Amino acid sequence: MQRQIFDDYESPSSAAADLVLETVSQNPGAVLCFATGNTPVGTYRLLIEKAHARQADFSQCFCFGLDEWVGVPPEKSGTCHQILHEQLFKPLGVRGTQVHLFDGMTDDISAECRRMNEMIRQKGGIDLMLVGIGLNGHIGFNEPGCSPELEAHDQELHESTLASGQHYFNEPTPIAKGLTLGLAQVRAARTVLLLANGAGKASIIQKALEGPVTPEVPASHLQQHKGALVMMDKAAAAQLT
């Protein structure tokens, strides 16, 4: 696992956008996976600006979504579906046929997860996965205690995830469960880029990067991943030794 510490929020966002562009320029058919949340907003904004300026070609790549809220209609503002399409795929010119996201409205969760797992296998695995970290150390909706061997699955969400999740919606939205790629798929991605910013993440970043590798801190499994890269601002890195 490598780490890079930057002065402000904008710099890792820019470096992360560059990494996505470099990945797609070296391998136009790259398989990418994107998270939502507050952390990658700057990365996506800069990625779109840079992609347009450099006339980057995303027409051959394939994109997965990391997770989704269960039971929230996809078009509702705040779902991973709506955010990724509006903030990323449409501006980049990525077509619907190049994207596979969880259907949070499915009435057959097992089949939905099987479809996701099968699609990832068919595409030859994920080249670059961009993720954030929850205050409890989660990646996607892999909450503390989750087995590192799991692939796509549904997950009861912890209090802290439910509380921070509510902020993504523009009105109170009942959420209880999520669908997520599993840690097995995070660990199998050729490159995992974890972004973190702000003082609120300093304590969990210290645990995830320097504490024991344990299911209690799902992001700690990245310590054992040679292709893991953590980009963070000084505030998030403040408790690292």
Nearer to ligand PGA, 38 or 224 (CB): 38
Among 100, 136, 142, 153, which one carries the catalytic annotation?
A: 136
Shortest Å distance, C-beta 39 to ligand PGA: 3
Shortest Å distance, C-beta 87 to ligand PGA: 13
Nearer to ligand PGA, 39 or 87 (CB): 39
Which residues form the interface with ligand PGA (CB under 6 A)?
37-39, 132-134, 138
Shortest Å distance, C-beta 159 to ligand PGA: 13
* DSSP state letters, 134-176: -TTS-BTTB-TT--TT--SEEEEPPHHHHHHHHTTSSS-----
Among 127, 143, 154, 233, which one carries the catalytic annotation?
A: 143
Nearer to ligand PGA, 76 or 123 (CB): 76
Among 67, 112, 127, 233, which one carries the catalytic annotation?
A: 67
Classify the phi-psi angles of 110: left when phi > 0, otherwise alpha if psi is within -120 to 50, otherwise beta: alpha
d(CA 58, CA 141): 27
d(CA 178, CA 140): 9
Residues annotated catalytic, as ranges:
67, 136, 138, 143
